[in-house]
Chains A and B, each alone.
Chain A
């Protein structure tokens, strides 16, 4: 089966700093993969490359059959991305965010799904308030909603549980389960091993910008994870 995400020898450099140093990764449809690792392991940079935001310095990255270096626009159409920080325009409302993402993806009849998702993430009451006044957890929840709105074939969630309350965590897990059920490929980056294992079937551990292990999530015990990090 052709992987939906196919990364080969990915390197990303920012000046002198090598944020990603030779990652190889493959993920298929209908699967959720957890991307684990310490701070600075290269998880978020890898996610940004997959989202078409940061171009790879070297290496080959295919997302839903599109090369991110050659056709980032097609990649962006296929992907739903929840960035690791903020991810929201401070003086726009959640509804305006949804409107933009739907419009640019040529979605019609998106309003009902938008309402449902906002309600599910308990953001319905604040749909028309600017997000600058939101708490960190509310912003994270809205970022997941924006990533999931168009039912993308590739869902990239970077630290979606960070600072999120139990109801938000539950809703996020539900979004991941729904995406899996409809055959999407999910990549979920997090520090929280327990939640990663709950959401994902397999796990990839990154260290120092490279992947050091890939295994079924059930096999990633606390001790094994700790040993891989050191």
Chain B
């Protein structure tokens, strides 16, 4: 009989079995399984709806500009490529991809890099951006193809989603590997900056359209609804197998190397500054806020996330010259993304130190206010950058747009802050955010949070888009008032719950248990 501790090379079969066990283990931790089951059913239903229903619509009925040829030649190839780029961005930002188990829990288990790689692939769709893009691709494809040949077309689209995710994972692991080498962080930052700049210059110079036509995704779009789709599907299956297998190579390499960026933060010297002088809100609050700010900006994952969320949409706004009605949607999405970095479980910044923090002689109101201020700062910064950069390209907005934009920005920031702080006091989690692969809540919960936040902020943004088109200056302000009142009430309720000693103790014990 083989010993259970005998050293064995990780096989694909073994990795798949380990993945199954780990996913089952994680699924047992879902706090509300019925809600999760309903959510999965709804998501599958919406996906089927998006993949089928548009086939019976005409382009005119959707209100889109252009015709079928434009969708096929321009929009779909770019959308296919955009999905791949989004996947690359997500896997790069996430340090290779999401982790199956938090690092502290995983260290006692013999989880190999191939299992980690497969886990990151399986968990990649638990990302709202992934799902929204997938729905868009399904809907566009159905619209272009129509009822005849729809099944074949959607099989090709589905396979592309998998292939793009697997290819993105190859890039993500490779970048993480480079990042973990000597000077790797600098190399990755320079390369990312150069590529971003090149794309920006290409877009401004009008060269990206030619590039879109030359992409292999143009051939993919051409095959939709055509008789040769089985051949394309077979090619994609081959590519998928190759990409999944290839991804294991950089995953093994990257996960063997020490996480240099995190280690640098942990071993770096941070000379303490003198205690802050009395300010408007008091010295205690200023010091607490400084400590909380440090907890955010000294985390590799959060820092990277805030930069990407701020600069990514800003570059798109600058490069493509997004119209003001689209820019109006960006603050809400940016604020939602920033909240998902830590705000939805804001007390997790303290980690196991929360018990100590709670033993300090400071009013609970001060602790809440400091944390809410730090969350608000992150939301404001991330949501402001695309708006400011967008104005560079678009010039100053009209008075009506400016009022709508300001009102919308204020509303979504307060809205997201209230929602995030409310979730933080009601559903705290014990998490360690040292790794950029870590998330502030379990994956299923994160997906639900992302869905709710994006839906709420996008709908709010669309209302203000409407107000920007009506020449009544006070309308956006009047619309903002009820939103602000409701969000303030919600924030006040969250604060009141925090002030209850038993509720606070429960939060502290939960968060410190990590």
Partners in one complex: yes
Residue among B265, B295, B357, B360 with the highest chain A CB neighbour number at 10 A: B360
Which range holds the interface residue count of chain A? 35 or more
Roughly how many angstroms separate A73 CA and B284 CA in the complex, as a whole number?
14
Checking B275, B502, B506, B509 against A99 with a beta-carbon cut-off of 8 angstroms, the contacting residue is B275
Of A14, A88, A95, the contact of B356 (CB 8 Å cutoff): A88
Tell me which of B270, B288, B506, B513 contacts A130 (CB under 8 A): B270
Alpha-carbon distance A81/B357, docked complex (angstroms): 10
A96 contacts chain B at the CB level, 8 A cutoff? yes
Which residues of the other chain, A, contact B299 by a CB distance below 8 angstroms? Answer: 91
Instruction: Please state if A129 and B353 are interface contacts (CB–CB under 8 Å).
Output: no
- Is B269's CB within 8 Å of the partner chain A? yes
How far does the Cβ of A141 sit from chain B's closest Cβ, in whole Å?
A: 14
Is A101 part of the contact surface with B, judged by Cβ < 8 Å? yes
Q: Which segment of A25-33, A46-54, A204-212, A217-225 sits at the interface?
A: A46-54
A103 x B287 contact (CB < 8 A): yes
Complex Cα distance, B257 from A156, in Å, reads 41
Docked-complex contact A105 and B351, CB < 8 angstroms: no
From B287, B295, B352, give the contact of A87 (CB < 8 A): B352
Is B353 a contact partner of A77 (Cβ separation < 8 A)? no
Count A-B pairs with CB separation below 8 Å. 128
The residue in B275, B295, B358 that gathers the most chain A C-beta atoms within 10 A of its C-beta is B358
Q: Are A53 and B505 in contact (CB under 8 A)?
A: yes
Q: Is there contact, CB below 8 Å, between A72 and B501?
A: yes
**How close is A52's CB to chain B, nearest CB, in angstroms?**
7
How close is B398's CB to chain A, nearest CB, in angstroms? 44
A132 in the interface, Cβ–Cβ < 8 Å?
A: yes
- Residues of B500-514 contacting chain A, CB below 8 A: 501-502, 505-506, 508-509, 512-513
Chain B neighbourhood of A97, CB < 8 A: 356
Partner of B512, one of A55, A83, A105, A133: A83
Please measure, in the bound complex, the distance between the C-alpha atom of A143 and the C-alpha atom of B356, giving whole angstroms: 9
Residue B268, interface by CB 8 Å: yes
Bound Cα distance from A76 to B357, whole angstroms: 11
**B347: min CB distance to chain A, Å:** 11
Q: Does B291 contact A (CB under 8 A)?
A: yes
Check: A146 CB closer than 8 A to any chain B CB.
Answer: yes
Binding site secondary structure of chain B: helix
Partner of B295, one of A69, A83, A92, A105: A92
Candidates B284, B350, B353; contact of A104 at CB < 8 Å: B284
Q: Which of B267, B353, B509 has a CB less than 8 Å from the CB of A90?
A: B353
Interface residues of A in 157-195 (CB under 8 A from B): none
Contact call A76/B270, Cβ cutoff below 8 A: no
Most buried by A among B267, B287, B350, B361: B361
Confirm or deny: A113 has a beta carbon within 8 angstroms of a beta carbon on chain B. Answer: no
Check if B363 is an interface residue, CB within 8 A of chain A.
yes
Q: Is the CB of B291 within 8 A of A92?
A: yes
B277 to chain A, nearest CB (A): 12
Residue of A51, A54, A128, A129 with most chain B CB atoms under a 10 A cut-off: A54
Please measure, in the bound complex, the distance between the C-alpha atom of A209 and the C-alpha atom of B268, giving whole angstroms.
Answer: 43
Are A51 and B359 in contact, with the CB atoms below 8 A? yes
Complex Cα distance, B222 from A146, in Å, reads: 67
Report yes or no: A55 in contact with B502, Cβ–Cβ below 8 A.
yes
Shortest C-beta distance, A89 to chain B (Å), equals 4
Q: How far is the CB of A8 from chain B (nearest CB, A)?
A: 19
Chain B contacts for A48, CB-based, 8 A:
355, 505, 509
- CB contacts under 8 Å to B, within A98-122, are 99-101, 103-105
Per the bound structure, the CA–CA distance linking A133 and B502 in Å amounts to 32
> How many angstroms between the C-alpha atoms of A76 and B298 in the bound complex?
29
Q: Is the CB of B505 within 8 A of A54?
A: yes
Residue of A nearest to B514 (CB): A86
Instruction: Let me know if B209 is at the binding interface, CB within 8 A.
Output: no
Distance between Cα atoms of A88 and B356 in the complex (Å): 7
A-B contact pairs, 10 of them (CB 8 A): A14-B506, A73-B361, A74-B361, A87-B353, A89-B295, A89-B349, A89-B350, A92-B353, A104-B287, A143-B356
The 5 closest A-B pairs by CB, nearest first: A86-B352, A133-B266, A89-B353, A76-B361, A83-B355
Taking Cβ atoms with an 8 Å cutoff, the residues of B that contact A are 263, 265-272, 275, 283-284, 287-288, 291, 294-295, 298-299, 349-353, 355-363, 432, 434, 501-502, 505-506, 508-509, 512-513
